[in-house]
Structures are given as C-alpha cells and as structure tokens.
Amino acid sequence: MFSRPSVLIFDVDGTLADTERDGHRVAFNLAFRDHGLDWDWSPELYGQLLKVTGGKERIIHFLNNYLPSFQTPELEKFVAQLHAAKTKHYMALLAAGRIPLRAGVKRLLQEAREAGLRLAIATTTTPVNVTGLLENSLAPDAVSWFEVIGAGDVVPAKKPAPDIFHYVLKEMNVNADDCIVFEDSANGLLAAQAAGLKTIVTISDYSKDDNFDGALLVVDSLGEPEAPCRSLSGVPCGEPYINLPLLHRLCNA
C-alpha cells in the first residue's frame, strides 16, 4: 500500500456541506433584522460578497462597497457584535439539522479513518461553526476524528492567503507532499496551492464558475457508489467516485 497521502485536509463551507446560501446567508439576514437593519443579502448579492472570506470581513466589505454612507461609532465593535449574533443563528440552523453533508463526505472520511489516514480541517469559518456542523451533521463524536481543526481568526490572514494551511501543516507536523486538500472555491484552491498542497476541488453552487487551474482534479462531488462523481477538469477520475485508491494514484503519479 502506498504511504501517500497520509493526511487529508478538508475545507468546510462548500466542501463538507453546502452551507452558504441556506445557512450562513440566512443567518446574516436574521442578525441584520435583530439589529434593526434593513439589509437583505439576496442569494445573488451573497454570491458576490462570498469573494471575500470571513464573515466579519464580508460585512465590512459590504459596507465599504454597498453602503459607504453607513456610519456607526466603534465600527469594529459593531461588526463583531453583528457577527456574533449571526453565528448564534447559524448554530441554531445546524442544531435544527438544516445543513446536511455533501455526497461522499461521510463515506470518504470513514474510509480514511479505517485505513489509518490522519484528518484535519482548514477553514475560514468560525470554530464553533465547525464543531456545530460536525456534531449535528456528521456524528456526535466527529470532532475527535480530526487531529487539527484550523479555523477562523486563528491565523492573521484568511484564504486566499495560505496561513490556515501553514497552520495545519505545522500543527500536524507533516509535509505538504504527504497531504491532499479538498476545497470548493478559487480562494481555497489559491490558499492551498500557495502552501504547496495538492488539491481536489468539489465545485459548489456558488463556486461553479471559479477558476480552478492547477487543481489535481475538479469534480461535481466526491460521489457515492450509487451516485458516481463527474470529472469537470478534463482529467478522468478513473474511479466512479473519489476513494483511497484514486487518492494514492493521484498522490504518487
């Protein structure tokens, strides 16, 4: 059996689950309403705002580009409070089971665990959002499946900066060559590539038109035996769905 990859690193939003349109976006709008703001992020507008990673950074980007006349004393504190309210609403959506995992995610994670591969997460989202998704949508003990969960403000710069991937590699004490990353967006791919990491992209509804040049493989999902994945990058999968033999071949090609 090949030794590589020995580590699988997963992005969260758009990769483990389609969390954005019916999750984060809804939570942002509920928080705006709670604060008496008439802001309404439509699915279309949110798709534009998603180019900025990080919820707090996204709110500031929205103000600077769509509401430049908006004034409030202590803007940073205001944004932090608004974002904390949004996170509470998002956690409630997770607890209500409203955000299921994408196809193939649970299957591949279980295959990897059974084969003794190490697992990690590298995400821009807030840490509680990760534990909330894992516990509510994967398994009650799923947080323990991941040796390192690199999330949110644990690093100074968010994707497309490579910081979060450097953090995970350092905490895992592993070389990039021993890993494969799973991402859904151009920002995520750029961040992983900048950290020297091979990346498989599973496109999401918001990222389907992104530029994925340099990805090892671009597919519509990780696939399941009864729902094969479709290669979108011209490189044939060679397998009906993303599985360990394929990852070994890709990593040792």
Q: Which residues are catalytic?
A: 11, 13
**Burial letters 182-196, b for 16+ CB under 10 A, else e:** bbbbbbbbbbbbebe
Where does residue 214 fall: left (phi above 0), alpha (psi -120 to 50 degrees), or beta otherwise? left
Give me the least distance between CB of 226 and ligand XBP, in Å please: 27
Q: Under rule CB under 5 A, which residues in 48-67 are in contact with Mg ion?
A: none
**Burial letters 89-102, b for 16+ CB under 10 A, else e:** bbbebbeeeebebb
Among 8, 9, 12, 222, binds ligand XBP (CB under 6 A): 12
Residue 39 vs 183, nearer CB to Mg ion = 183
Q: Which stretch binds Mg ion (CB under 5 A): 13-21, 92-100, 104-112, 209-217?
A: 13-21
Cβ–Cβ < 8 Å for 198, 217? no
Q: Among Mg ion, ligand XBP, none, what does residue 18 contact (CB within 5–8 Å per kind)?
A: none
Residue 191 vs 229, nearer CB to ligand XBP = 191
Question: Does residue number 13 form part of the binding site for Mg ion (CB under 5 A)?
Answer: yes
Give residues with Cβ within 8 angstroms of 39, minimum separation 6: 29, 32, 62, 67
Alpha-carbon Rg of the chain, whole angstroms?
18
Residue 13 vs 174, nearer CB to Mg ion = 13
Q: Which stretch binds Mg ion (CB under 5 A): 12-20, 76-84, 134-142, 220-228?
A: 12-20
Binding mask 128-167 for ligand XBP (x = CB under 6 A): -x-----------------------------x--------
Cβ–Cβ < 8 Å for 188, 163? no
Among 6, 29, 124, 199, binds ligand XBP (CB under 6 A): 124
Q: What is the dihedral of CA 170, 249, 245, 103, to 10 degrees?
A: 70
Question: Does residue number 202 form part of the binding site for ligand XBP (CB under 6 A)?
Answer: no
Q: Among ligand XBP, Mg ion, none, what does residue 55 contact (CB within 5–8 Å per kind)?
A: ligand XBP
Q: Under rule CB under 5 A, which residues in 150-179 are in contact with Mg ion?
A: none
DSSP string for residues in 21-83: IIIIHHHHHHHHHHTT------HHHHHHHTTS-SHHHHHHHHHHHH-TT---SSHHHHHHHHH
Question: Does residue number 204 form part of the binding site for ligand XBP (CB under 6 A)?
Answer: no
**Structure tokens given for 91:** 């956690």
17 φ, ψ (degrees, to nearest 5): -155, 155
Question: Does residue number 243 form part of the binding site for ligand XBP (CB under 6 A)?
Answer: no
Binding site for Mg ion (CB under 5 A): 11, 13-14, 184-185, 188
Binding site for ligand XBP (CB under 6 A): 11-14, 20, 24, 53-55, 123-126, 129, 159, 185, 188
